[in-house]
Amino acid sequence: MQLKKSIIIGILSTVSLSSLALMGSQQAQTNNLKPFLVIGIVTLILGAIATYQKYLQQH
C-alpha cells in the first residue's frame, strides 16, 4: 500500500514538473522539449533513489 502511494505521488510530481517545464518552453517560444525531458528524468531518478532509501530503512 505504501509503495503504491509513493508511486502515485512520484507520477503526480513528475507530471506537474514536466508540465511547468513545457509551459516555460512554450512561453520562450521554443519548440525544444529538452527542459521537459531533463526535469522528467531528474524527477524519476530522485524518486527512485528516495524509494530505494525508504526500502532500505524498512529492512
Query: 24: Cβ–Cβ under 8 A, 6 or more apart, which residues?
Result: 35
Report the alpha-carbon distance of residue 12 to residue 50 in Å, rounded. 15
CB–CB of 39/18 below 8 Å? Answer: yes
What does the domain layout of the chain look like in residue ranges? 2-58
pLDDT digits over 4-58, tens only? 777 777 777 777 777 777 766 666 555 566 777 777 788 888 888 888 888 888 7
What is the value of pTM for the model shown? 0.47
Query: 47: Cβ–Cβ under 8 A, 6 or more apart, which residues?
Result: 6, 10, 13, 14
- Cα distance between the two ends of the chain: 16
Residue 10: all three cell numbers together: 512520484
